[in-house]
């Protein structure tokens, strides 16, 4: 009599068969036999954590006339974006980010059904977004978020006039040191912006003629109406010199997830900044970032002051 619960019984629906795979590339056979597949052929590639890029969506070439009502104009008037520092360099300073999860708040209902506790979703919760940045020697990263917070809650004088931002900070206006000054919040639509985090893989392939064979698969989290709520303190110490880092916490209304591919173009141009950094950017537009720049980051290694090479391919 057969034993239907034995693991090796042919009719057992819970039977587990072995999987034969090669850990290397599949071997091609010269006869009619099929080659043994590899793990990559069957399960695909695995994602790595070091391939990502954030986009702050800041414009650099804007007028400073409306600095009291426009965030971009305020940052330009404060000297955040100049010939040596650009929005792209600030974005590449981000060395750590956490893609948010999804959480639903539930309501428990007891007594409607005898002996049954029911739960129903009532609201979707969005956790805070935290981005970690390396601090450059010009302290541009710190001033970027400090001035963003200053724009949200600017300092006003006793006559109700707000103190404008300056490239020299608060020392440019002696009125900012008066004891009678006070803070006043701006309207939310003036300081809320969108922030994007794009996760991708390093799997762009070109043939010998420069034609694109495979474009990377990307996943972009776009945070709507984001603004900074906390800029962490910077500890300094004589005990040992390390790279200065800071963390910025953002609140936002909600986020959307976009599934898309790369630029789809093998045309890239090399840009050299004033600090000697070499950046490869896509020449075509439509990649999801401003000025046609590719939203791809090849590595997030420790930045060096000069001679650092960053590639988006």
Task: Convert 75-122 into a string of H (helix), E (strand) and C (coil).
Answer: HHHCCCCCCCCCHHHHHHCEEEECCCCCEEEEEEEECCCCCCEEEEEE
Whole-Å CA distances, 137 to 28, 89, 170? 54, 13, 20
More confident residue, 105 or 294: 105
More confident residue, 26 or 41: 41
In the chain, the percentage of residues whose pLDDT exceeds 70 is 66
Task: Report the mean per-residue pLDDT for the chain.
Answer: 75
The pTM of this model reads: 0.70
* Residue 271 pLDDT > 60: no
More confident residue, 281 or 262: 262
Distance CA 175, CA 211 (A): 60
H or E element that contains 174: none
How many Cβ atoms from other residues are within 10 Å of residue 298's Cβ? 17
Per-residue confidence band for 273, with pLDDT thresholds at 50, 70 and 90: very low
From 172-186, 195-209, 278-292, the region with the lowest mean pLDDT: 278-292
Distance CA 161, CA 248 (A): 29
More confident residue, 278 or 45: 45
Extract the tokens encoding 163: 């103190």
Angle at 270 between CA 268 and CA 275, to 5 degrees: 150
Q: In the chain, where are the structural domains located?
A: 54-99+121-310
Per-residue confidence band for 282, with pLDDT thresholds at 50, 70 and 90: very low
- By DSSP bridging, strand 129-134 and strand 94-97 are antiparallel
Extract the tokens encoding 51: 């391939």
pLDDT, one tens digit per residue, over 287-297 is 333 333 333 33
Nearest to 131 by CA among 248, 46, 293, 290: 248
């Amino acid at each position: 009599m057969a034993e239907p619960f034995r693991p090796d019984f042919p009719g057992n629906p819970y039977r587990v068969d072995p999987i034969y795979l090669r850990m290397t590339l599949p071997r091609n056979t010269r006869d009619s036999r099929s080659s043994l597949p590899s793990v990559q052929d069957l399960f695909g590639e695995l994602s790595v954590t070091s391939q990502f890029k954030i986009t702050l969506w800041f414009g650099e070439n804007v007028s400073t006339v409306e600095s009291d009502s426009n965030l971009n104009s305020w940052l330009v008037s404060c000297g955040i974006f100049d010939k040596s520092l650009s929005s792209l360099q600030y974005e590449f300073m981000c060395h750590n980010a956490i893609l948010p999860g999804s959480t639903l708040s539930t309501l428990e209902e007891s007594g409607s059904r005898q002996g049954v506790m029911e739960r129903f979703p009532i609201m979707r919760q969005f956790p805070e977004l935290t981005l970690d940045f390396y601090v450059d020697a010009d302290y541009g990263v710190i001033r970027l978020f400090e001035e963003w917070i200053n724009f949200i809650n600017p300092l006003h004088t006793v006559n109700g006039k707000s103190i404008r931002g300056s490239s020299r900070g608060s020392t440019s206006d002696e009125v900012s040191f008066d004891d009678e000054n006070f803070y006043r919040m701006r309207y939310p639509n003036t300081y809320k912006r969108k922030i994007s985090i794009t996760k991708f893989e390093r799997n762009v392939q070109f043939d010998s003629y420069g034609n694109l064979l495979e474009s990377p698969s990307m996943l972009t989290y776009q945070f709507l109406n984001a603004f900074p709520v906390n800029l962490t303190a910077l500890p300094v110490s004589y005990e040992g010199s390390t790279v200065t880092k800071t963390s910025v916490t953002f609140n936002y209304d909600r986020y959307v997830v976009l599934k898309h591919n790369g630029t789809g173009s093998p045309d890239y141009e090399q840009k050299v900044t004033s600090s000697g950094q070499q950046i490869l950017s896509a020449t075509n537009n439509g990649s999801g970032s401003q000025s046609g720049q590719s939203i791809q980051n090849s590595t997030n290694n420790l930045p060096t002051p000069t001679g650092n090479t960053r590639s988006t391919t």
